[in-house]
Structure 1
């Protein structure tokens, strides 16, 4: 097992030799004679596991070094122990307020140095293990949420005589459009994960209405127009960013740019961006996929309709982006093609 790395920072080489002599048998010791050198070593690979830091140094004192270490996300978690001749209570309090974990006064006791380093390295290891565990469990939780969202989206597709491939395709289409908008990566990924829930509210629509082969009457159509609200109600209200976005998309993906959509008659940018993106992706896939009640449209015809509805149903800027990513969309369409279409 590799030895843990201790960085000793002091502008006096004799002081470094003393600390190094105490720790060298148990740890790999690195040394820095200045604050600037210490900051550079702290950001190197492998990073030190702990830093023993003098306070009184020229150009950049130990307090400033500690402050910069704690301001840098790359180094802020490395434990810092001040080792200094400044022994006033106020000096110690100031150092601890900066984020140091301990304060040892000179001349040092070898036993104290060994004990403090051992203790704080043990705590640091525990914290890193805990952080890793939390990251893994958070990842598992997100994956569980994603699977639930996909399963509920799949349930809605079963209800509507569609296949699960629809929600996969339109989710990828939505992600491609979002990515082309130069939005943060996490936002496009959020839309990709939330989009499968867009029609979950259809679970609340009676089969007699949802699967009716003919034209819906006014009463049936009014009921059908409630499925976005049903979807939001099914998803509920959560702190989860993913479920929040799923609820937004479920509620607003049938709104139209000109205000003629439902359920709330939102217009233009009143419609959430994610819902405007999903609207194009959903319609394009619905048009170009065969269903029991219709044949698949040719891609050119589907694109022509989306162009025709630009400024009415769809956000014109997003229609332009849709054209930019259309080659990638068609690759996804081919990759996740229905069996009957292959």
Structure 2
């Protein structure tokens, strides 16, 4: 078989190398601006296909020069991946014009790719800054909750830790679990609007006070839901639904089953568990095993069964969290 020649042209003014088909792998090492293939011979079209299969040359212009019936040559060349075709006899001026045009196309594509890469990095930087600011907002809202109740911080941290364990037990991604955990720290943000006489009352609430306390779910939702922030929208969803019950007897909207967003079902388990193991002015802290038994008992009535099962599957992690952040007196 005669040696198949390949002419690889770099930008005008640079040295023009001539390569054989056996040297094709060398082209995978870097970009070229135009490849001219002598299509006469048995492997010309195969060479174009092999070149086009190299990832670095998926869009590199290829000009094939061949002999024969023009229509058949053009069809075969384009099907093999060539960008343009010249049929012999070739006018040198025509070859020069075609080559310059294809090189300009290659350089324009490279400039566009470089610009797109710079834009991607710029957008990524903006997104990272936006996410950082979202997290800062959430942390400052947590501080606002702690100003009302100095025990709220530990409660929120434990609920967030339980939320991660449940979410991972359900098979959510690490990012998904972390988002729910972070957003959960604002699940009681609506309590900012509850009077101190109710929020900090040293004893059980009256029926009227309890109804006022229940308003915190809707208030928290209204505070957060119209934010363009994805995390704050998730937080608004949790604030609204973490007191809903699987059987539909919860508040504020009486949702049931999977009509309750998954984030709300997860935080319902985490929030109640932490409330049970925490001391209150009207009750002693429950031992963790008793609180765990409560979740099992109300699996399918108060709580999503899948969320309870996920919680139980991560029990060792929950126990580690309780050791690191022991429960004391705190908000309900």
TM-score range, shorter chain: 0.7 to 0.9
Distance change (3 Å), C-alpha of 1:246 and 1:53:
farther
1:301 maps to 2:277? no
1:202 maps to 2:191? yes
Q: Highest CA radius of gyration, 1 or 2?
A: 2
RMSD: 4.4
Q: What residue number does 1:273 align with?
A: 262
Q: What residue number does 2:89 align with?
A: none
User: Which residue, out of 34, 53, 61, partners 1:82?
Assistant: 61
1:18 maps to 2:8? yes
Q: Distance in 1 between matches of 2:108 and 2:315?
A: 58
Unaligned residue ranges in structure 1 (runs of 5+)? 1-11, 70-74
How big is the shift at 1:219?
Answer: 2.0
User: Which residue, out of 209, 223, 229, partners 1:240?
Assistant: 229
Secondary structure at the counterpart of residue 208 of structure 2: helix
Q: Distance in 2 between matches of 1:32 and 1:175?
A: 57
Which deviates further from its counterpart, 218-227 or 179-188? 179-188
Q: What residue number does 1:6 align with?
A: none
Query: How many positions carry a matched residue from both structures?
Result: 301
Which deviates further from its counterpart, 243-252 or 118-127? 118-127
Unaligned residue ranges in structure 2 (runs of 5+)? 87-94
1:320 maps to 2:297? no
- Decide whether the 8 Å contact of 2:9 with 2:36 is kept in 1: no
Q: Distance in 2 between matches of 1:244 and 1:31?
A: 60
TM-score, length-scaled by structure 1: 0.71
How big is the shift at 1:225?
Answer: 0.9
1:140 maps to 2:137? no
1:218 maps to 2:197? no
Q: CA-to-partner distance for each residue in 1:80-124, whole Å, 9 max, x for gaps? A: 242325999xx9xxx9xxxx9xx7777357776766555543443
* Superposed counterparts of 1:1-342, under 5 Å: 14-15=5-6, 17-19=7-9, 58=45, 80-85=59-64, 107=95, 117-290=106-279, 295-337=284-326
How big is the shift at 1:297?
Answer: 2.6
Q: Distance in 1 between matches of 2:21 and 2:204?
A: 80
Distance change (3 Å), C-alpha of 1:247 and 1:60:
farther
Distance change (3 Å), C-alpha of 1:112 and 1:270:
closer
Distance change (3 Å), C-alpha of 1:114 and 1:261:
same
Secondary structure at the counterpart of residue 9 of structure 2: helix
Distance change (3 Å), C-alpha of 1:253 and 1:52:
farther
Distance change (3 Å), C-alpha of 1:25 and 1:225:
farther
- Decide whether the 8 Å contact of 1:249 with 1:278 is kept in 2: yes
Secondary structure at the counterpart of residue 260 of structure 1: coil
Q: CA-to-partner distance for each residue in 1:107-161, whole Å, 9 max, x for gaps? A: 3577767665555434433321221121122012112112212321332243244
How big is the shift at 1:269?
Answer: 1.9
Q: What residue number does 1:3 align with?
A: none
Secondary structure at the counterpart of residue 18 of structure 1: strand
- Decide whether the 8 Å contact of 2:52 with 2:58 is kept in 1: no
Secondary structure at the counterpart of residue 80 of structure 1: coil
How big is the shift at 1:173?
Answer: 1.3
- Decide whether the 8 Å contact of 1:162 with 1:291 is kept in 2: no
How big is the shift at 1:213?
Answer: 1.4
Q: Distance in 1 between matches of 2:310 and 2:244?
A: 19
TM-score, length-scaled by structure 2: 0.73
